[in-house]
Structure 1
Amino acid sequence: MTQPTANSESSNTTFNHTTSSLNAFATRLLDWFAKNGRHDLPWQQHQTDTPNPYIVWLSEVMLQQTQVTTVLPYFARFMDTFPTVQDLAAAEWDLVAEHWAGLGYYARARNLHKGAKQLVEVIEETGEFPQTLAGWEAISGVGPSTAGAIMAMGLHRYGVICDGNVKRVLTRWAANDGDITKSTTTKELWALAERLTPTENSGLFAQAMMDMGATLCIRRKPACLLCPLQADCLAHAEGRETDYPVKAKKQPKPSKFSDALLIESADGKILWLQRPDNGIWGGLWSLPLQFVEKVDGKANSKATGKTADKKSVTSADKPSKVASDVRSHEKIYEAEFTTAEQIINEWLIKNELVTQSVSKSLLDDAPIKHSLTHFHWYLTPRKLTVDSAQILELNEKLASAEIDFKWLTEQTAQDNLGLPRAMIKILE
Structure 2
Amino acid sequence: MTQLTANLNPKILDDDFHHSTESLDSLAPRLLAWFAENGRHDLSWQQHQTDTPNPYIVWLSEVMLQQTQVTTVLPYFARFMASFPTVQDLAAAEWDTIAEHWAGMGYYARARNLHKGAKQLVEVIDATGEYPITLAGWEAIPGVGPSTAGAIMAMGLHRYGVICDGNVKRVLTRWAAIDGDITKSATTKELWALAERLTPREQSGLFAQAMMDMGATLCTRSKPACLLCPLQDDCLAHAQGRETDYPVKAKKQPKPSKFSNALLIKNVDGEILWLQRPDNGIWGGLWSLPLEFIEKTSGNIKGKTAPKQTDASDEKPLKVASNEKVYEAEFTTAEQIINEWLDKNQLIAKSVSNTLLDDAPIKHSLTHFHWYLTPQLVTLNTKQAQEITDALQSAEININWLNTEDAQSKLGLPRAMVKILE
TM-score range, shorter chain: over 0.9
In the TM superposition, residue 348 of structure 1 has moved relative to its aligned partner by 1.1
Aligned residue number for residue 359 of structure 1: 353
Cα displacement string for residues 354-395 of structure 1 (whole angstroms, at most 9, x for unaligned residues): 000112546885210000010000000000100121112211
Inter-CA distance 379–361: structure 2 relative to 1 (3 Å threshold): closer
Q: Which amino acid aligns with 2:90?
A: L
Secondary structure in 1 matching 2:64? helix
TM-score by length of 2: 0.93
Aligned residue number for residue 304 of structure 2: none
Inter-CA distance 31–12: structure 2 relative to 1 (3 Å threshold): closer
2:151 maps to 1:149: yes
2:262 maps to 1:260: yes
2-structure distance, mates of 1:410, 1:364: 24
Contact kept? 2:357, 2:374, Cα under 8 Å: no
403, 416, 419: which is aligned to 1:422? Answer: 416
State the superposition RMSD in angstroms: 1.9
Inter-CA distance 73–320: structure 2 relative to 1 (3 Å threshold): farther
Q: How many residues align?
A: 403
Unaligned runs of 5+ in 2: 300-311
TM-score by length of 1: 0.91
Cα displacement string for residues 119-166 of structure 1 (whole angstroms, at most 9, x for unaligned residues): 111111111111111110000100000000000000000000000000
In the TM superposition, residue 323 of structure 1 has moved relative to its aligned partner by 3.8
Aligned residue number for residue 402 of structure 2: 408
Contact kept? 2:267, 2:380, Cα under 8 Å: yes
Q: What are the residue-to-residue correspondences of 1:205-220 with 2, within 5 Å? A: 205-220=207-222
Q: Which amino acid aligns with 1:51?
A: P
Aligned residue number for residue 26 of structure 1: 28
Secondary structure in 2 matching 1:247? coil
Aligned residue number for residue 250 of structure 2: 248
In the TM superposition, residue 295 of structure 1 has moved relative to its aligned partner by 1.4
Question: What is the percentage of aligned positions where both structures have the same residue?
Answer: 79
Aligned residue number for residue 68 of structure 1: 70
220, 223, 226: which is aligned to 1:224? Answer: 226
2-structure distance, mates of 1:425, 1:335: 24
Contact kept? 2:356, 2:375, Cα under 8 Å: no
346, 366, 378: which is aligned to 1:372? Answer: 366
Contact kept? 2:164, 2:195, Cα under 8 Å: yes
2:340 maps to 1:346: yes
Contact kept? 1:324, 1:333, Cα under 8 Å: no
Q: What are the residue-to-residue correspondences of 1:157-196 with 2, within 5 Å? A: 157-196=159-198
Secondary structure in 1 matching 2:124? helix
Aligned residue number for residue 305 of structure 2: none
Contact kept? 2:182, 2:248, Cα under 8 Å: yes
Q: Which amino acid aligns with 1:330?
A: E
2-structure distance, mates of 1:114, 1:198: 33
1-structure distance, mates of 2:67, 2:351: 36
Q: Which amino acid aligns with 2:100?
A: E
Aligned residue number for residue 114 of structure 1: 116
Secondary structure in 1 matching 2:168? helix
Secondary structure in 2 matching 1:57? helix
Secondary structure in 1 matching 2:318? strand
Q: Which amino acid aligns with 1:44?
A: Q
Q: Which amino acid aligns with 1:179?
A: D
Cα displacement string for residues 217-254 of structure 1 (whole angstroms, at most 9, x for unaligned residues): 00011000000001110000100000000000000000
Contact kept? 1:290, 1:323, Cα under 8 Å: no
Aligned residue number for residue 307 of structure 2: none
Inter-CA distance 362–408: structure 2 relative to 1 (3 Å threshold): closer
Detail structure 1 runs of 4+ shifted over 6 Å in the superposition.
none
Q: Which amino acid aligns with 2:71?
A: T
2:318 maps to 1:322: yes
